[in-house]
Structure 1
Amino acid sequence: MGKLELLIWMPFALAFLLSMGNQSSSQFIPADNYLLACGSSVNITFQGRKFFPESVYENNDELELKSQKSVAVTSDSSSPASIYQSARIFQGRASYIFTIEQLGQHWIRLYFSPLPEFHQNMSSASITAIADGVVLLNNFSFMEYGGSNLIKEYAIDITSPTLALTFIPSANSLVFVNAIEVVSIAGDHGIYAINNTSVHSLSLSKFALETVYRLDVGDESLTTRNDDLGRDWESDEKYMASNSRALNVSVDPEAIQDNPRSVTHLTAPKWVYATAKAMADARSRNLSWVFPVNPNNNYFVRVHFWDIISNLENYAIFILFIDGAYATRVDLYSQESYSYIYERHHMDFVVSTRGNNLTVTVAPDRTANSTNATMNGLEIMKIVTEVRTLDGRALAKLSVILGSIFGATAFLVLFAVTSYYLKTCRSQASSRAITRSCRLFTLQEISEATNNFDECLLLGEGGFGKVYEGTMNDGEKVAIKVANAQSRQGLREFRNEIELLSKLSHKNLVSLMGYCNEETQMILVYEFLANGSLSGHLYGTNFLPLSWKQRLEICIGTAKGLHYLHTGAAQGIIHRDVKTANILLNENFVPKVADFGISRKGPPLEKSHVTTLVKGSFGYLDPEYFRTKYLTEKSDVFSFGMVLMEVICGKPAIDDTRPTEHINLARWASSCQDKDTFYEIIDPNLMGKVNLDSLNKVRELAWKCLEESRTNRPPMGYVLCELEDALHIELASRIQQVSMDCAIDVVVENGIKDEKEQ
């Protein structure tokens, strides 16, 4: 499960830098307000704001365009005027130099849209954009983007009287831009974040931020509506984990009044607060939104609330979860009794992500007898801290820097050296699928790391061969898997594992560090995971029992890894051997899916399955796949259902030491289910230590995953949301129990005090 490394709710009245303070629109006039229609010769009104030609600012000595090769182009389209009908095209490095009146945070918005009738192919242009050393775009191309229009919005700290916004085309290419905004932001507000146990003040004005998501929750049919600050709000529908759980509600925006004690329309427009999502009925567990994000980044998350669903008998009290972790308890009436219903407010958080998805969830606080939860708006921005780059890699940034110092020749030399290095690595790998992220180890290095394959360092043995604990020369511990010459898994599986893992990156997938293919030896080197396999902790020896919370967190992390496999690539990847022995745990019990030797790419979009020979582990094998040889992502879902059953029961899927009728755990559990005696096979270590609603939810989910027909099994995204629901239930029950314990302690303490006084 993702952890909130940096997280704190901020006071309602605290404004974020992008709010531009709690001022009315009439009071706020940006000191810097450049709305630039690049390449245009006329003023253009776009979404209620007027953009001006470059010449208007140049004539006032506010702007300077430095470019050796540029041309202004205009579309012949007769459609209404738009900033996308003109553009400035550069065939060499070019910079817009803006005069800055007010130092500090500024919004920078870049607008891009290729003009189809232009004689050069603008769609294939490779765009790099840099603002005062911050890489905003790195070799962006519409060929990969897939859309027609693009708006990129950033908040950048400007510390000098000028801003240099530089565009760099790649070799033999061009770069273009349709419109540019540079607008000063009023105020410089800090936010607070918790890092471990220390509280630090993070002034976001010192960082660069990129707007990733800005949602008007509850509005299915967003039309072009003007935000006084030029912000773009989109509908939340496509991000909902389950639309069937949600109900759109709304009120008249004119009913919302600005209040100096609360937020104003500068924080978010009235029409954002006038719409919301609520739960469709009391049977719904929660409302959850899922957002693709870059792993290992910090994000600013702002959640907007205004209660338009409850009444005095049904308080709006609910729990907010971010990235699967408890964030805060929300009570929309807690500020000024019931009058607070007329005021809007927001909560701010900073979250550190490790996975490829960020979830935001609201769930009723059952301990307060609440039956609903709501949200009006949501903003997510990526925070750039130490490395000043928003899109791009270190190598690309280095290339840009070197290019600016040494010119085009140095860049070409760097490119040639890099290309030669990558080709050499591929040649040594003896496979085009092996990439530069995968190191080639010598047999001598492997032998030294394992003390000549000392059996004392043996971690386990599987279908591929033995796995040893190893220590490299730099002291780093690794896991070394050595192929068995008699193993059924040979060269194909060896290459398959390297090809897949060298292209995948997710915190819940095991990391392949390298390989060795020397003297007929086939060896794989992985990161070392100190806590072994999930199977060992469920029914192995010399292990402390896992709590229900730990088991849920492990299942959630595993589901995230599998969901990434199924959705993270163009065709998706089917693991084909999901089992508790292939779920490994690091020192913090973060799960990582391992063993990709028999994994397969999923079917292309036009097909529903892959026809292939049956492979996998008995007890976890999809019965439909076994009969038809039709492999789908739902085969992994079936196997994961058996993992859930093992997690509940603390017993292996297949155990021939059990009585004949109990050898197969799924059949045994099904028999108990039919007899209403399922409690008999629940892991005894859980009895009395688990919320039964949470456990039963996972049990029901396991049966859904174990459906005979794949069409009846849920996708992994659904499985993930249900598991997070189960965790929320468990956490809520713990909070309630702690409250009860505290109340009991107070009663006991008062009783003792009374006795002493008597």
Structure 2
Amino acid sequence: MQMGKLATLVLLYVVSFCSMVGTGEVQLKTVLINCGTNSSFDVDGRRWVGDLAANNNLTLSSAAAADTTAALSRNTSLGPLYGSARIFTGGLNYTFQGVQGDYFVRLHLCPFTFDHYNANGSEFSVAANGLELLSQYSVPGDIATKNPDLLSSESNGSSYLIKEFFLSISSNELVIEFLPSKGSFGFINGLELVVSEDDLFAGAITKVGGNIVNLNLSGRGMETMYRLNVGGSQIKPSQDPDLWRTWEVDTSYMTNVDAGSQMKNDSNITYASSNDSSAAPLLVYETARTMSNTQVLEKRFNMSWKLAVDPGFEYLVRLHFCELLFGQPNQRNFRIYVNNRTAADNFDIYARAGGKNKAYHQDYLDAVSSNTLWIQLGPDTATGASGTDALLNGLEIYKLSRNGNLAYVGTFNSAENKTNNPKARVLLVGIGAGIGSVLILALVATVIFLLRKRRRSEIGSKNNAPGWRPLFLHGAILNTTTNAKEAAGTKKQNGSVASMRMGKRFTVAEIRAATKNFDEKMVIGVGGFGKVYRGKIEDGTLAAIKRAHPQSQQGLTEFETEIEMLSKLRHRHLVSMIGFCEEQNEMILVYEYMANGTLRSHLFGSALPPLSWRQRLEVCIGAARGLHYLHTGADRGIIHRDVKTTNILLDEKFVAKMSDFGLSKIGPALEHTHVSTAVKGSFGYLDPEYFRRQQLTQKSDVYSFGVVLFEVICARAVINPSLPKDQINLAEWALRWQRQRSLDTIIDPRLIGQYSSESMKKFGEIAEKCLADEGRSRPTMGEVLWHLEYVLQIHEAWSRANDKESSSLTVESLKDCQAGGAEERQNPLFTDPDLAISMRQRGKR
């Protein structure tokens, strides 16, 4: 009886299945098409079927008589799929039945040469159910822009490319249309459709800088831009058997690979929930990248991935996490930045995933207007977590369609921008004319440049000395008769910006005489450009002479920038340029000599006497005045970009002057908030916001100056790897003590007894404000200067009060002694000098 019921159920199931097949209602799980042939083959347990073979679910149609199949023996080394291709000179459609649902659609493309067809000249467009996937697409052109590490390449030069899209198909049919550009052709090696049965991209998603929204892909599509296995090796499709995805290595996309070290955990990893099971294979979560503890000492910086994208689209950013180390919440908290904006702070993987070794993913949505998408993870030092290192296991980037379009061809190609519009044609003609004019001007400029270069080469050939040619002062008006001391700034108007370059032109003979023929005993410093000598020029004035190394290209740009800056700037708290030398293949700058060297040398690392608290305040005020002048003394201001204690020099009267303007940049124009530039500066002083965004502002100098303030009171190096982990970085270490209002615990012991608690309190507050994580929260240099002057006033008032009290104590003691007899004269204040000193110190306290 039971057997009869079972047979009936099986029969009903078979009949139902057959009827669904007849009506096309069965959803196809995976479709693998080998294009341009009727042959089939198996790879990794999957069967690829020729597009000419009998297939009830696929219809192939073409509007071109020249539709061709090709046997590509040259590509067989890449696998059987790339040994054939379908070539089309007219419209070509692949129609699939029974594909309702969510699918990954992959186009397999491999350039080739066959008969008179050369794939290097192919160009075509692709659409899926009306959604434009590719427009005027060139496979070799796309391969040329990709990182070679991401492509499979053989010794014969063959490389292939896979374009992957995610489509939510509402109908029961998928039509993939191929259309070559006019006068060209297109090709396709393979088509792959893989169903995504779970709601892989369903539900709420966090919009960067906004609210949580629902991701609705109905009528939209996505293109897979990147899929990275962070901290691990490449994962092949066969290792991701559910969706057959390729996970690439992330190292080639990191701005600094050493910023994140790899880690691996062999323990059993499980998914945090059933919704995560198809997000990524468990192999992704077994490896990770976490911020380095030894390679990168500056823990305020981030692990950064720089990814090239198409502007004008929204992007889905999927981050994969799995806590592999900590077994409790609030032990690893960090921040997530997407496109230089905070996407999440106080991010705790353990708390979000529900435990250790739990695979979890987080999605973010952001609109991108530039060609670059930044993903950055870094410590959230404000959380108080025991560990603030960031961690990431995997990264995916998807481009979302816009107005029925996923294609990008230089400018966004939407329905409203078609060139059959008369106005558009007029615009294109105007653009063409403009481009033509620019090309003509460029040609003329090139000819002039080549002629000038030839002339310079002829002049340079007279000098047989090897090395670089000098950096000429282009269009400069040079004062060759200015007295050296006057040029040094001793008689110049402070605070004025010269409208032309100033300085004396020295001969090489004069420089050699001043430095005793570049005697090594005269060297007082060495940089990437060369050496700095102490010298005495012809009128007996001491000078610092910077000589660029003739055989080195390092620092030449910075050298020229310094000439440009110092020839325009004059201020009491900026080092002045006396002159220059640019003959006999030399490039030399001559500065005023700063008798007391660098500020750092008076803080630590030398046998020099320590600076008093008053001297340190005056030095900081002087440096702040110099920076304030840089920021405000010109129309757009100047950003120093390398503020540190070795670039603050002290003259014979300990007057502080800013030096080394080789990295300086002109500030942003009025309509801009920053200067976009590569990150340069000194480790330990770098503004973390500038490091993350590569956007330089005057507040970057403020941050560096805040580090200088802490260095001044702590008298230690800003980075010291020999110290315990939490003390390596001075800025972080001092900031923690300052936030606890216990900064006096870590100050230079030589300052004890020299300052009032109120002045130290205010000083620490200024430094803390300078080190705010975001530039907009930091004060200007003018505000910093005002507060430092206030601290000095507090200190001077305290000093006067203590001096008066000490003086009163001494006078009263003398009166007592004089009024008494011989016994009174035995007062310990007279007989014990140590006690007298102790009394005075007690009075100061």
TM-score relative to the length of structure 2: 0.50
User: SS at the partner of 1:368?
Assistant: coil
Pick aligned residue for 2:376 from 361, 367, 377: 361
Equivalence map 1:199-218=2 (5 Å): 200-218=213-231
1:358–1:492: structure 2 CA closer, same or farther, 3 Å change rule?
same
Note the C-alpha offset of 1:150: 0.8
d(CA) in 1 for partners of 2:404, 2:234: 38
| Maintained 8 Å contact 1:620/1:642 | no
User: SS at the partner of 2:406?
Assistant: coil
Note the C-alpha offset of 1:376: 0.5
| Maintained 8 Å contact 1:112/1:178 | yes
Query: What residue ranges of structure 2 are gaps of 5+ in the alignment?
Result: 1-25, 145-150, 152-158, 450-466, 477-499, 504-527, 531-545, 579-590, 604-615, 629-638, 649-658, 665-675, 693-699, 707-730, 742-845
d(CA) in 2 for partners of 1:66, 1:317: 57
1:218–1:702: structure 2 CA closer, same or farther, 3 Å change rule?
farther
Pick aligned residue for 1:719 from 672, 680, 688: 680
Match status 1:59 vs 2:63: no
1:387–1:707: structure 2 CA closer, same or farther, 3 Å change rule?
farther
The residue identity in structure 2 corresponding to 1:680 is I
| Maintained 8 Å contact 1:288/1:361 | yes
1:189–1:609: structure 2 CA closer, same or farther, 3 Å change rule?
farther
| Maintained 8 Å contact 1:321/1:327 | yes
Q: CA RMSD in A?
A: 5.3
Match status 1:372 vs 2:389: yes
Structure label with greater radius of gyration:
2
1:138–1:654: structure 2 CA closer, same or farther, 3 Å change rule?
same
| Deviations 1:485-507 (CA, angstroms, capped at 9, x unpaired) | xxxxxx959x99xxxxxxxxxxx
> Partner residue of 1:301?
317
d(CA) in 2 for partners of 1:124, 1:671: 62
1:114–1:628: structure 2 CA closer, same or farther, 3 Å change rule?
same
d(CA) in 1 for partners of 2:570, 2:425: 60
User: SS at the partner of 1:370?
Assistant: coil
User: SS at the partner of 1:84?
Assistant: helix
Note the C-alpha offset of 1:667: 9.1
Query: What residue ranges of structure 1 are gaps of 5+ in the alignment?
Result: 1-28, 403-409, 435-490, 497-607, 647-651, 688-694, 742-758
User: SS at the partner of 1:52?
Assistant: strand
1:657–1:76: structure 2 CA closer, same or farther, 3 Å change rule?
closer
1:293–1:389: structure 2 CA closer, same or farther, 3 Å change rule?
closer
Match status 1:699 vs 2:713: no
d(CA) in 2 for partners of 1:666, 1:65: 82
| Maintained 8 Å contact 1:426/1:432 | no
| Deviations 1:416-462 (CA, angstroms, capped at 9, x unpaired) | 9898655544556682659xxxxxxxxxxxxxxxxxxxxxxxxxxxx
d(CA) in 2 for partners of 1:616, 1:375: 53
Note the C-alpha offset of 1:365: 3.2
| Deviations 1:382-416 (CA, angstroms, capped at 9, x unpaired) | 122346232225686669978xxxxxxx89x9999
Equivalence map 1:112-127=2 (5 Å): 112-116=109-113, 119-127=116-124
Note the C-alpha offset of 1:261: 5.4
1:619–1:420: structure 2 CA closer, same or farther, 3 Å change rule?
same
The residue identity in structure 1 corresponding to 2:643 is R
User: SS at the partner of 1:271?
Assistant: helix
| Maintained 8 Å contact 2:130/2:404 | no
Note the C-alpha offset of 1:160: 3.6
| Deviations 1:55-100 (CA, angstroms, capped at 9, x unpaired) | 34x5314333234231111222564743111111102222222224
> Partner residue of 2:95?
97
d(CA) in 2 for partners of 1:630, 1:354: 43
Equivalence map 1:290-369=2 (5 Å): 290-310=306-326, 315-328=331-344, 329-335=346-352, 340-366=355-381, 367-369=384-386
Pick aligned residue for 2:232 from 215, 219, 232: 219
User: SS at the partner of 2:440?
Assistant: coil
d(CA) in 2 for partners of 1:620, 1:67: 75
User: SS at the partner of 1:289?
Assistant: strand
The residue identity in structure 2 corresponding to 1:327 is A
> Partner residue of 1:244?
258
d(CA) in 2 for partners of 1:214, 1:723: 31
The residue identity in structure 2 corresponding to 1:379 is E
Note the C-alpha offset of 1:267: 0.8
The residue identity in structure 2 corresponding to 1:389 is L
> Partner residue of 2:288?
276
The residue identity in structure 2 corresponding to 1:300 is L
> Partner residue of 1:106?
103
| Maintained 8 Å contact 2:122/2:184 | yes
| Deviations 1:76-127 (CA, angstroms, capped at 9, x unpaired) | 2564743111111102222222224415x43221110023455521232113
The residue identity in structure 1 corresponding to 2:188 is V
User: SS at the partner of 1:41?
Assistant: coil
1:696–1:37: structure 2 CA closer, same or farther, 3 Å change rule?
same
d(CA) in 1 for partners of 2:689, 2:358: 30
d(CA) in 2 for partners of 1:680, 1:316: 39
> Partner residue of 1:36?
33
d(CA) in 2 for partners of 1:182, 1:224: 14
Note the C-alpha offset of 1:300: 0.9
> Partner residue of 1:470?
none
> Partner residue of 1:178?
189
> Partner residue of 2:569?
655
Equivalence map 1:552-701=2 (5 Å): 614-615=473-474, 654-658=568-572, 661=575, 671-676=598-603, 679-681=620-622, 683=624, 699=643
Match status 1:164 vs 2:175: yes
| Deviations 1:652-671 (CA, angstroms, capped at 9, x unpaired) | 99532536856899998984
1:663–1:234: structure 2 CA closer, same or farther, 3 Å change rule?
same
Match status 1:391 vs 2:305: no
Structure 1, 179-188 or 626-635: larger mean CA deviation = 626-635
Q: Determine what percentage of the aligned residue pairs are the same residue.
A: 22
> Partner residue of 1:45?
42
d(CA) in 1 for partners of 2:187, 2:597: 63
The residue identity in structure 2 corresponding to 1:281 is N
| Maintained 8 Å contact 1:128/1:137 | yes
User: SS at the partner of 2:370?
Assistant: coil
d(CA) in 2 for partners of 1:639, 1:324: 32
> Partner residue of 2:248?
234
| Maintained 8 Å contact 1:319/1:326 | yes
TM-score relative to the length of structure 1: 0.56
d(CA) in 1 for partners of 2:592, 2:172: 70
